[in-house]
Homo-oligomer: A and B are copies of this chain.
Amino acid sequence: MVAVELAHAYRLLNHGPTTLVSTAHGGRRNVMAASWSMPLDFSPPRVVVVIDSRTLTRELVEASGEFALNIPPRSLAAQTVAAGSDSGRHRDKFDHLGLAVAPASQVSAPLIVGCVGWLECRVIQEVHNEQRYDLFIAEVVAAWADPTVFSNGRWHFGDDAKRTIHYVAGGAFFETGKPFEVDAGR
């Protein structure tokens, strides 16, 4: 994985891929799926993500003030669905799902090996949003990408197995599809 400059971090998420939220605190760790995450600002880069109040992830985010957004490729789609339906309270989901991790540079949350993008995030505490809407705002403090599919601030997918994915419901996804450009000066 190669560092992504913070000014380009939003481009990892701008096309709306499904993410995996990873967290750790006090010897516990967890991962859950989140389709409901998006950029909130360019610079400093900020994101929003919805984290249900009943989840272990929520406990660990609140305790640590940190999380990572991992962007899974199609090859991890089954694990993404499983991470979204299973709970981490009774077993370690990383081990159960065969997800290897690497340490982050700035946060306690582990980064998921095989994902094509990583955003290390520090929560900007907004208690009202968290309690009323399960909505978390965070600053992206470091970002990384797989250089075979993202470089110079652009995604360039080839192999289907490394395409990012977009969840619909009930185990159904879309791959990120064909790129195209329109004249922005139109």
Contact = CB atoms under 8 A, between A and B. Distances in A.
Contacts of A179: 168, 172-175
Interface stretch (A61-69, A73-81, A111-119): A73-81
A73 to B, nearest CB: 12
- Copies of this protein, total: 2
Contact of A184 (B40, B163, B170, B184): B170
Interface stretch (A22-30, A100-108, A127-135, A140-148): A127-135
Interface residues of A, number: 54
Interface of A: 11, 14-18, 35-41, 46, 48, 50, 74, 77-78, 81-82, 85, 126, 128-129, 133-135, 137, 153-155, 160, 163, 166-184, 186
